[in-house]
Amino acid sequence: MTELAINRSVEPRTWALQEGYRLLAYLQLGRSGANSGEIKRDDEVWQISSRRRRPEEVVLGEPADPIVAFDRDQAAVRGILEPLPWTFSGRLSRSRAVLGSGDKAITLETAGWRPQATVDVQGEWEERDLVVLACFFAAIARRRRSTFVGSAVPGT
């Protein structure tokens, strides 16, 4: 198992993926928040976006050949033949997201209002850093929707 961390960067709307003190990649949200952004690693940049009406649908890379594409309860990851289960639970200050299961899983957890997440990675993943930040973005998109729904609908 590999333990990673996602922490808020000093740059606006930006999070850094780290392994210990080593910076691996960045996620920078667009001006529209969790609707779009970029993932940067070294000198490479990939676009990531969610659909406004269906924020659970997130695509990293070109829509015709995505690195990862999330839907409500599964995700297609480049290099893996079958879709993987994708679960998200939590609201506001606490959330947990899991891509995959068993010996091939990425688990992200947030706690409190701190702008950070802990990440546990099981197994080998092609483009691990990109997939981890895509999971984080997808969780942000889902979390923002549940926050909106929770505040808009009494009793939820």
- Single out the residue of 43, 24, 54 nearest to residue 7, CA to CA: 24
The reported pTM is 0.87
Boundaries of domain holding 88: 2-152
Question: What local confidence, expressed as pLDDT, does residue 90 receive?
Answer: 82
Q: How far apart are CA 54 and CA 130, in angstroms?
A: 22
pLDDT single digits (tens) 111-148: 776 678 999 999 999 999 999 999 999 988 876 644 43
Domains contained in the chain, number: 1
Residue matched to tokens 């639970």? 89
pLDDT single digits (tens) 18-33: 999 999 999 999 887 6
Q: How far apart are CA 92 and CA 144, in angstroms?
A: 8
